[in-house]
Amino acid sequence: MNFYISALFLLLLFGYSTARPQGETCVSNDNCDSGLHCETCVANGNVRPRCTRIQPLSPFSRVNGLPFNRYSWLTTHNSFARLGARSAANGRLVLTTTNQQDTITDQLNDGVRGLMLDMYDFNNDVWLCHSFRGNCYNYTAFTPATNVLTEVRVFLEANPSEIITVIIEDYVRSPNGLTRAFNASGLMRFWFPVSRMPRNGQDWPTVDDMVQNNQRLVVFTSRASKESSERIAYQWRYMVENQYGDSGMRAGSCPNRSESPAMNTTTRSLVLMNYFPSTPSLTQSCRHNSAPLISMMNTCYEVAGRRWPNFIAVDYYRRSDGGGAPQAVDTANGQLVCGCANIASCRENMTFGACEVAGDIAPSGEFNNQTSLGQFDSRPIRFQWLIGVFLMAGMSL
């Protein structure tokens, strides 16, 4: 009997001792290759947990030194609105919709480089709030903006070659309120000045230039007046953006947001693509962030004058049935950087469009794993072989 117990233990250990690539079944995140986690997508009919992507490949790892607008960045919608968060105002659960599962630090460590933040006047300070009618309340307030901006500063200090974009939905009316928040967080020393942003559709400075000058924080506001009063770039002078919410998720259509110029306006160098529903859904996000996201990206590419998005904004970015939002970013980067179907195909000094390697690969690096339940399954050939060994050994006793 002891032999059978030992053999079964070895079977389980051997069956899960090697990390698994994207798409293979899993029990926990530890079963998956680095850069993946164990996830189910019941909304797509996938009830068995499988290893899914959580991070795009860094485009700098393939080709560096291109203009900023020649790259695409994974962007989180309402980055601060974390599921299960408690308000710093009263310690209670925030009673408003949420859009992400992870802290800002975890998002940045996973390769998110665009943060969409809603900022309000509240408690004599600037707060991150998911509210309505321009007012923030105890039950809709998440945290003072300086808390999240400090996380961004800490990340930039620890990663001297990374660039982060902050896109502010701006309800702050207090004079110089945003400037005070950025000063208090210590981020002004990373500030990319509005004077260097191209206004007529030209290329941006190269990422190498931005890094060398330590101008690695790009900030946009939704209030036009802040550009002259606080030197914060008015978003739609520099980018086009498609409609957010349900009306922006209709297959075959990519209308511009009402505040944005038309999607095919070439005097704007940057393209922001939203793809998330009006009411966020943790369960449905894995379906939204899969094939429909790629399909919408292709639609918006055509509508935007055959331009790939520089920012791809989603809810619950970790959720998908496979490659998800990271795969969409890898696809856009492949097209922008080297004219290939995936950034994995790009090589330094290659001729644009001379693609050598096709397909998708999992990124390398260190990632934070979170526990996820699954069901037992192993690689079929290995499993059957071990069962055979187990039975034959038992029969020989």
Q: What is the pLDDT of residue 132?
A: 83
Q: What is the pLDDT of residue 314?
A: 98
Digit-coded pLDDT (tens) for 193-211: 999 999 999 999 999 999 9
Distance CA 71, CA 60 (A): 9
What type of residue sits at position 234? Answer: Y
Digit-coded pLDDT (tens) for 150-192: 999 999 999 999 999 999 999 999 999 999 999 999 999 999 9
Q: What is the pLDDT of residue 19?
A: 81
Digit-coded pLDDT (tens) for 78-91: 999 999 999 999 99
pLDDT band, residue 133 (cuts 50/70/90):
confident
Q: What is the pLDDT of residue 377?
A: 37
Q: What is the pLDDT of residue 199?
A: 92
Q: What is the pLDDT of residue 357?
A: 56
Helix ranges (DSSP H) in the chain: 2-15, 104-109, 145-158, 177-185, 207-212, 226-229, 282-288, 291-303, 324-337, 380-395
Q: What percent of the chain is predicted at pLDDT more than 90?
A: 80
What Cα–Cα distance (Å) separates residue 243 from each residue in 10, 13, 307, 315?
A: 54, 49, 16, 15
Q: Which residue would you say has higher pLDDT here, 156 or 23?
A: 156
Contact assessment for residue 271 and residue 232, using Cβ atoms and an 8 Å cutoff? no
Digit-coded pLDDT (tens) for 373-396: 333 333 343 444 444 444 444 444
pLDDT band, residue 103 (cuts 50/70/90):
very high
Q: What is the pLDDT of residue 2?
A: 60
Mean pLDDT of 115-128: 98
pLDDT of residue 366 exceeding 70? no
pLDDT of residue 360 exceeding 80? no
Q: What is the pLDDT of residue 282?
A: 96
Can you name the residues that pair with 76 across neighbouring β-strands? 115, 314
Distance CA 248, CA 252 (A): 10
Contact assessment for residue 353 and residue 338, using Cβ atoms and an 8 Å cutoff? yes
Q: What is the pLDDT of residue 35?
A: 87
pLDDT band, residue 369 (cuts 50/70/90):
very low
pLDDT of residue 313 exceeding 90? yes
Residue 123: left if φ>0, alpha if ψ -120 to 50, beta else—which one?
A: left
Return the closest-CA partner of residue 142 out of 103, 182, 186, 112. Answer: 103
In degrees and rounded to multiples of 5, residue 118 shows phi and psi of -95, 120
What Cα–Cα distance (Å) separates residue 75 from each residue in 42, 165, 389, 395?
A: 24, 9, 49, 58
Q: What is the pLDDT of residue 362?
A: 36
pLDDT of residue 300 exceeding 90? yes
The mean predicted confidence, pLDDT, of the chain is: 88
